[in-house]
Structure 1
């Protein structure tokens, strides 16, 4: 078993994803930035593995995280919709 078959990017992506979920669970906006880094890492893994589905899914997740950052940055009265 080669732990660094994908140059460690898969391990980085996994750690970033877990840290992001932890931070978002703590209502910390930094979790979205960590998740964007994780999504970028997963896109790289998708490229290395020739997985178009992984790349497309993580581009969509990345855009959803950008949306979340924007929504969390708005004043509270705008977030009630």
Structure 2
């Protein structure tokens, strides 16, 4: 083999390695972004469920507050607001 053929093989091998590196890194970034997006959606769903539970607890507390006020009015004969 002469010098021109060797440099051609070096250039072709380099181009092949850089293109492989580009494809692998692009696919890796795509997979990581997909996984992060899925995790974000799952966490948002869980936080929405927790928010719904807090709303239910707040509703129950409001009901208990009204009951306590009624008991105080009846027991002490007070008109508290």
Q: TM-score, normalised on structure 1?
A: 0.31
Greater helix share, structure number: 2
Q: TM-score, normalised on structure 2?
A: 0.31
